[in-house]
């Protein structure tokens, strides 16, 4: 199958992943009309970065083949839509080509599930890894995690992506059962659990990812928890920035509400307040 045909099928299949209102527009080109401007109708969507900028993304599926048969999904295995699958190399090249032409500032990559959760997640991660490491791509990358993939693969995806997210599909277990009975809510939720981490049991590497915890504080925490189960007061004594790390930690007497780490304003709550610079100094 030609790359352009794959692009048509897999960008179209991705438009149902609700993340943007501008995907699915018609392609227009001013070369023939001698007018001005053109747009690449296939697969461009928009998202907001943490600093509030709106960026254009190539929104695409690795594949629309899928082992599952979720009743609400155009890509379910019983659907008779045309199927396609990119190779990792094709997707990397496509992203670079779109980027160099100024069509996009980044990539939004999702996928149906082929062969296995791990194999699909691994291929998606290889796209991000190759962009970052082989091509020093500094653009934005959003990966849709494959719920059920191994924690190591999910952690690796997080190392290369600016943002990862999971489709919860349906909010209630009974509706999930009736429309997507092959899916399990607990497995979907588990793939979202990198935070909060338990300060009394988490490995050093995981604690190093907690905002506000530095190497020295973590060494003190690990030494102290050998002797007792740490509470919030202990952490306050062992770190300098309890306010910053508290939303990401579980301690003997503390468990953050889910809404804390889910809060869209989390950055604003934790980042230092903006200061007016002296314009005339
Ligand atoms: S697993 Fe995802 S892609 Fe596959 S049928 Fe269900 S919703 Fe669609």
Interatomic CA distance for residues 24 and 41, integer angstroms: 7
Taking the model in full, what pTM does it have? Answer: 0.69
Instruction: For ligand 1, say whether the CB of 191 is within 6 Å of any of its atoms.
Output: no
Q: Which atom of ligand 1 is nearest to the CA of 64?
A: 3
Provide CB contacts within 8 A for 230, sequence distance 6+: 199, 200, 221, 224, 238, 251, 252
pLDDT of residue 228 exceeding 70: yes
> Which residue has the least CA distance to atom 5 on ligand 1?
76
Q: Which atom of ligand 1 is nearest to the CA of 67?
A: 4
Domains identified in the chain and CATH numbers? 3-17+41-190 (3.20.20.70), 197-270 (no CATH)
pLDDT of residue 35 exceeding 70: yes
Average pLDDT on 96-100 reads: 93
State in Å: Cα 229 to ligand 1 middle.
Answer: 42
Pocket test for ligand 1, best of 61, 62, 64, 68 (most atoms within 8 A of CB): 68
Of the pLDDT bands very low, low, confident and very high (cuts 50, 70, 90), residue 185 is confident
């Amino acid at each position: 199958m030609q790359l352009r045909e794959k692009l048509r099928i897999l960008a179209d299949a991705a438009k149902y992943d609700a993340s943007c209102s501008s995907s699915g527009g018609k392609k227009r080109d001013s070369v023939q009309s001698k007018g001005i401007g053109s747009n690449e109708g296939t697969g461009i969507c928009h998202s907001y970065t943490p600093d509030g900028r709106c960026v254009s993304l190539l929104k695409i599926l690795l594949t629309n083949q899928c082992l599952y048969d979720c009743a609400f999904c155009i890509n379910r295995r019983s659907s008779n839509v045309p199927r396609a699958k990119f190779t990792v190399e094709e997707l990397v090249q496509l992203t670079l080509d779109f980027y160099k032409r100024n069509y996009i500032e980044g990539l939004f990559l999702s996928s149906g599930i082929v062969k296995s959760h791990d194999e699909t997640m691994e291929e998606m991660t290889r796209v991000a890894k190759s962009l970052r490491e082989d091509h020093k791509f500094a653009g934005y990358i959003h990966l849709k995690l494959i719920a059920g993939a191994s924690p190591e693969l999910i952690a690796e995806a997080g190392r290369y992506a600016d943002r990862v997210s999971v489709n919860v599909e349906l909010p209630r277990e009974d509706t999930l059962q009736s429309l997507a009975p092959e899916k399990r809510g607990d497995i979907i939720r588990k793939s979202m659990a990198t935070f909060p981490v338990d300060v009394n049991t988490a490995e050093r590497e995981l604690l190093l990812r907690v905002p506000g915890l530095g190497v020295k504080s973590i060494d003190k925490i690990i030494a102290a928890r050998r002797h007792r189960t740490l509470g919030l007061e202990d952490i306050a004594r062992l770190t300098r920035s309890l306010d910053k790390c508290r939303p990401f930690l579980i301690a003997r007497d503390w468990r953050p509400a889910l809404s804390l780490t889910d809060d869209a304003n989390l950055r604003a709550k934790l980042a230092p307040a903006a200061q007016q610079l002296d314009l005339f100094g």
